[in-house]
Amino acid sequence: AVVVDVLVVVALVLGGGVARMLFRRPWTVEAVAASGERFTRQVVGWGASGRARDEIAAGLRHGQRPEELRPAEA
Q: What is the pLDDT of residues 25-56, one digit of tens each?
A: 888 888 777 777 777 888 888 788 888 888 87
Residue 68 has pLDDT above 70, yes or no: no
Instruction: Yes or no: say if 39 and 33 are a contact pair by the CB < 8 Å rule.
Output: yes
Q: How far apart are CA 74 and CA 45, in angstroms?
A: 25
Residue 10 has pLDDT above 50, yes or no: yes
Could you tell me which of 67, 5, 10, 4 has the C-alpha nearest to residue 39?
A: 67
Instruction: Yes or no: say if 28 and 70 are a contact pair by the CB < 8 Å rule.
Output: no
8 pLDDT band, cuts 50/70/90, is very high
Whole-number mean pLDDT of the chain?
80
